[in-house]
């Protein structure tokens, strides 16, 4: 079910093309350290995701047992699947930046201090902990598992084109429709004005609707302030959980830290309760529990500020 494993040959081909084009233009877009670190994170991600494939499929099948009776046919089925996958990606991506423990996981993807196609392979090994819920809305809406997987693979693979500097200028008219390399470069920037901007995956409209769009107006500085890029994938995936490095992450008041732990426990209890008592509940109550679960996960530990941006303002 992991789309990355199908996209790897495609990604590697694009990396070679990008390297040759940049070299012909007299530019250097790849470093040995950065590329090896990105690939090692990608390989580990594929391995870990393969171990979680079966539980996620089973969860999808179980959830599909409570699906709404909606007929999905023709081209509208594929169109709706693509748009909804992109919207859920936007929401999940936003949560991965706004919830402290989720950011400690997702931040692996942002550690690279270069920006090229290999960054698309730099994925967190614990990604499934932050995104395990994303297939569930599609199961509840009655989409077939194989259709969901197919569109998810396409959606994930297409995002590789946004991880490049081969298109140095903004394609302004296109940014109103889809995510361009310039649009996504901003998202990877640690410049003060670029922090927590441009979360969209492929359809850029979500950033305009929810006010998270920022144009690329100055050169982007890549990486995460206070955390150096690493070749060791184990260090890359767990360094942001080190207590001494919590300061560069968004500040969380002690009471909110307690709420994060308590909220996570409550979310687990709600999830277990949902599957234990679902046969006694009406559909509208089941759906309400799902939204409560997602709300708890999203709400507890929500970041109030971003010292990274504050520090950037004071030190640049």
pLDDT digits (tens, 9 = 90+) for 262-281: 544 555 565 555 445 544 55
The set of long-range contacts for 87-90, using a CB threshold of 8 Å and a minimum separation of 24, is: 87/203, 87/206, 88/134, 88/137, 88/138, 89/134, 89/155, 89/201, 90/199, 90/200, 90/201, 90/206, 90/207, 90/210
* % of the chain surpassing 70 pLDDT: 74
Q: How many CB atoms lie within 10 A of CB 80?
A: 16
The partner residues of 55 in beta bridges, in order of sequence, read none
Range of the domain at 175: 3-245
Residue 300 lies in a domain: no
64 with 138: CB under 8 angstroms?
no
Q: Produce one character per residue of 282-307: b if its CB has 16 or more CB atoms within 10 Å, e if not.
A: eeeebeebbeebbebbbebbbbeebb
DSSP string, 222-238: BSBTTB---S-HHHHHH
Position 308 confidence tier, pLDDT thresholds 50, 70, 90:
very low
The distance from CA 283 to its chain's CA centroid, rounded to whole angstroms, is 30
Residue 305 lies in a domain: no
68 with 141: CB under 8 angstroms?
yes
Residue 312 lies in a domain: no
Tell me how many domains the chain contains: 1
Joined tokens for residue 291? 């939204």
pLDDT in tens, 50-80: 888 888 999 999 999 988 877 778 888 899 9
Q: How many residues does the chain have?
A: 316
- Inform me whether the pLDDT recorded for 260 exceeds 70: no
Gap between the Cα atoms of 66 and 254, Å rounded: 39
Joined tokens for residue 83? 């748009």
Residue 124 lies in a domain: yes
Position 238 confidence tier, pLDDT thresholds 50, 70, 90:
confident
């Amino acid at each position: 079910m992991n789309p990355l494993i199908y996209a790897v040959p495609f990604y590697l081909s694009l990396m070679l093309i990008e390297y040759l084009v940049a070299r012909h233009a007299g530019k250097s877009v790849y470093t040995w350290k950065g590329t090896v670190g990105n690939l090692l994170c990608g390989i580990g991600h594929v391995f870990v995701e393969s171990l979680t494939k079966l539980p996620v499929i089973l969860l999808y099948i179980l959830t599909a047992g409570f699906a709404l009776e909606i007929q999905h046919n023709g081209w509208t089925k594929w169109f709706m699947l693509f748009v909804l996958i992109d919207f859920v990606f936007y929401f999940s991506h936003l949560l991965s930046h706004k919830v402290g423990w989720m950011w400690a996981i997702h931040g692996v993807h942002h550690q690279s201090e270069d920006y090229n196609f290999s960054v698309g392979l730099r994925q967190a090994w614990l990604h499934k902990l932050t995104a395990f819920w994303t297939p569930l809305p599609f199961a509840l809406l009655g989409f077939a598992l194989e259709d969901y997987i197919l569109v998810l693979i396409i959606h994930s693979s297409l995002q590789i084109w946004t991880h490049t500097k081969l298109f140095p200028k903004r394609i302004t008219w296109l940014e109103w429709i889809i995510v361009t390399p310039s649009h996504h470069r901003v998202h990877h920037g640690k410049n003060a004005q670029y922090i927590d901007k441009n979360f969209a995956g492929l359809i850029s409209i979500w950033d305009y609707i929810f006010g998270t769009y920022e144009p690329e107006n100055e050169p982007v500085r890549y990486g995460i302030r206070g955390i150096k890029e690493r070749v060791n994938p184990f260090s890359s995936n767990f360094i942001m959980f080190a207590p001494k490095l919590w300061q560069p992450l968004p500040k969380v008041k002690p009471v909110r830290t307690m709420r994060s732990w308590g909220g996570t426990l409550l979310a687990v209890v709600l999830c277990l309760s949902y599957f234990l008592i679902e046969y006694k509940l009406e559909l509208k109550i089941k759906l309400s529990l799902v939204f409560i679960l997602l709300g708890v996960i999203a709400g507890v530990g929500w970041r109030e500020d971003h010292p990274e941006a504050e520090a950037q303002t004071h030190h640049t």
